[in-house]
Structure 1
Amino acid sequence: MKAVQILGDISSPRIVTNDDMPTPSPSGSEILIKVHAAGITGDAVTWPEIYATPSRIPGHEISGTVAALGPDYLGPLAVNQEVFGMLSADRGQGQAEYAICSAAEIAPMPSSISHAEAAVLPIPLLTAWETIVDHGKITPSTKVLLTGASGAVGSVFVQLVSLLTGAHTIALASAQNHEALRKHGAENVVDYKAAGWEKSIGKFDVVFDTVGGDILTKTWDAVADDGIVVTVGDPPPAWAFGRGKAVEAETRPGVRYMHFIVSPDAERLAEASSFIHSGRMKPLAVQSFGFGDAVEGWTYAQQRNRGKKAVIVFDVYNCKRD
């Protein structure tokens, strides 16, 4: 089968394409997916798990059809059914013509969108959902600040938090993205380039940071004394993964803070699929690249402020929607 690989090491990664990789076979209760499209996350070249994977095939977001079911699979999915999903962080290997997954990782995809659009949704959807429900425990009365609101995770979060909780969100983004974010449901939008925004914006129960770095540091001035800062910024802060305490916590002891890596969740994907199919949630804008242009696609995905989510298309015919 055809597949993308990341060769070299984490200090000097090299994206290549390979036309002659072995096609996997499902065992036990595994599911084999014929991948029509696979999302690209540019920062994935810095994730250590890819360098421990024998195949060196990256990719955690896929959309396609069920090609085969393992002998022990007893679930509702059927061969040729259209699905989308997120492969677990420790495995991946989605940027290939075929990929192995578990039932917990995939769900029926929304029939109203293309495979290219479906392939870039799982990580943003599940990251936003996990923040809203599990970590932020957001309710209708929760005051929420979102950073990096125009990115993939931010764009989905603004829509999903309204659908799931009705809470109002203040979104931090560059000026050219303000109108789109208001249409998605942001109560107000603030320019992250405005001097001193962190001291004048108010205090929030939940800060959801998707940027990291200086922006994450500034959000400590905008979180309530008993609030929480949740970040998925990449690279992770120095205190992530139990490596110590945040410096800011010395003077703000009541503020909770956490960094997390999103987990697969087929049930949440299925529910989000209904939101998209009904038109209550809009899909992300995508920039598609054929397998032969996969290296170019990775270059595009690593650009900041690109406006669209990059996707590799393995099956052009099946990625189309009338």
Structure 2
Amino acid sequence: MQLTFVLSLFVLLCAPLASADTPPAEMRALLMTGYGGSEVLKLDEVATPTPASGEVRIRVHAAAVNPIDWKIRTGKLQRNYGVKLPYIPGRDVAGTIDAVGSGVTRWKAGDTVVAVTDGGTLAEYVIAPAENVARKPAKLTFEEAAGIPTASLAAWRTLITNGDIKKGQRVLIHGGAGGVGSTAVQLAHWRGAHVIATASARNHEYLKSIGADEVIDYRTTRFEDVVKNVDVVLDTVGGDTLQRSPAVLREGGTLLTIVGIPPAQACSERKLRCPTPSTATNEQPGEELTKLGQLFDNGALKMQVEATFPLAQAAQALELSETGRARGKIIVQVIE
């Protein structure tokens, strides 16, 4: 009996201890179980994903909510952006890499990063392609950094890559206080443009603080009554706003939009450059996020967080986004 006890003790002492960083077999996640309102969302436990070749797994500290998340939930994008149910919403993440797949050499466990994905960030762990990952800006919290990917990439690709904004140009940005708009205002200011933005009155001082030279209250003033002959318009609103925008551009000016299709007849009549909305780029998302991260670190860009929700209330974060009244970004804090 004594020998059995000694052998048992030896086995116990020599057995490897489970690492504190070893992920659980299951994780908490916000699941979309169908299409509709918030009733189709529920917090549940699912299997923790494993990274495949070329992928990394990120322990999620914080994730951002974007309009695409609630549009997917409602089914509005089902024709062109169908998802397999149950689906975990969320595209933006800031966190710590805890595992890498084969072939990944740039990243290692322990790296703090931001990344953009095709979904799955409203959970405790998420998988991301290695080329979609960049180092978290050192000067930002995880909550602030989580707000960068989707909105800032849209602003960067539209204004900088496609629009090639230049010093001295006059730029009108519709929806300047939103996630994309607020980054666009700062990027245009960084490039040396004269920035005009539309927003509700409560956001005027905020927009001036991040680089807007003029702000128009869209609720009381029609922008075409006070703006003429601008070089570039960036529309983040769509609908009637997009249709009315050609009138304020100089002949040969540029109409950029992230929502809807520019009015072809007006673009032709005024000889405008009206590219179809596109996120096509020759760079990997991680490369673009690295450039954006440097601008956040050197103070050229600042992140505005409108509200923060715990993962258990992530459905409410999508509801706030759906109102269209948020200033800056809406964040879900996974590690509290």
Same fold? TM cut 0.5 = yes
Q: Residue 74 and residue 132 in structure 1: after superposition, are their counterparts in 2 closer, same or farther (change >3 A)? A: same
The answer (yes or no) to whether the contact 1:86–1:122 under 8 Å persists in 2 is yes
The code of the aligned residue for 1:284 comes to: Q
Is 1:98 aligned to residue 118 of structure 2? no
- Which residue of the partner structure matches residue 270 of structure 2? 252
Are 2:99 and 1:68 equivalent residues in the alignment? yes
Displacement of 1:32 in angstroms is: 0.8
Contact residue 43 and residue 312 of structure 2 kept, 8 A: no
Choose which of 162, 183, 197 in structure 1 pairs with 2:209.
183
Amino acid at match of 1:69: V
1:315 pairs with 2:335: yes
Structure 1 spans left out of the alignment, 5+ residues: 317-322
- Which TM-score applies when normalising by structure 1? 0.85
Tell me the residue number matched to 1:125: 152
Q: Tell me the percent identity.
A: 29
Post-superposition CA distance 1:154-194 (Å, at most 9, x none): 1111112222x222211122222222212211122222234
Do the aligned partners of residues 179 and 13 (structure 1) sit closer, same or farther apart at CA in structure 2, a change above 3 Å counting?
closer
Contact 2:122 2:311 in 1 (8 A): no
Deviation at 1:247, TM superposition (A): 4.7
Give the letter for the 2:56 counterpart.
I
**RMSD of aligned Cα (Å):** 2.3
Counterpart of 2:31 in structure 1 is 5
Match of 1:220 in 2: 246
Q: Which has the larger radius of gyration?
A: 2
Shift of 1:50: 6.0
TM-score, with length taken from structure 2: 0.82
The Cα of 1:293 is off from its aligned counterpart by 1.4
1:320 corresponds to: none
Contact 2:33 2:85 in 1 (8 A): no
The answer for the alignment partner of 1:274 in structure 2 is: 294
1:166 equivalenced with 2:205 (yes/no): no
Task: String of CA shifts for 1:14-48, please: whole Å, max 9, x gaps.
Answer: 44234321111111111111111111124423233
Q: Report what 1:58 is aligned to.
A: 89
User: SS of 2:46's equivalent?
Assistant: coil
Aligned to 1:33: 58
**2:203 and 2:298 mapped to 1: Cα distance?**
25
Residue 45 (structure 1) aligns with: 70
Extract unaligned runs of 5+ from structure 2: 1-26, 72-76
1: CA distance, partners of 2:294 / 2:135? 10
Q: Match of 1:284?
A: 304
For residues 10-25 of structure 1, the aligned pairs below 5 Å read 14-25=39-50
Q: CA deviation at 1:54?
A: 4.5
Q: 3-state DSSP class of the match of 2:206?
A: helix
Contact 1:15-1:295 within 8 A present in 2 as well: no
Tell me which amino acid in the other structure corresponds to 2:245: T
**Alignment CA distance shift 1:145-1:308 (3 Å):** closer
In structure 1, what residue type is equivalent to 2:234? Answer: F
Output the CA distance in 1 between the equivalents of 2:129 and 2:217: 41
**Maintained 8 Å contact 1:3/1:57:** yes
Could you tell me how far apart the structure 2 residues matched to 1:147 and 1:290 are? 30
CA distance in 2, matches of 1:50, 1:95: 18
Contact 1:206 1:227 in 2 (8 A): yes
3-state SS in 2 of match to 1:220? helix
Task: Please say if 1:303 is aligned against 2:330.
Answer: no
The verdict on how the C-alpha distance between 1:17 and 1:70 changes in structure 2, with shifts beyond 3 A counting, is: same
Deviates further, 48-57 or 124-133: 48-57
Distance in 2 (alpha carbons) for counterparts of 1:250 and 1:226: 10
* Rounded Cα–Cα distance in structure 2 between residues aligned with 1:267 and 1:43: 23
In 2, the alpha carbon distance for the partners of 1:254 and 1:307 equals 31
The answer to whether 1:139 aligns with 2:166 is: yes
User: Structure 1 residues 297, 193: closer, same or farther in 2, change over 3 A?
Assistant: closer
Change (3 A) 1:26 1:169: same
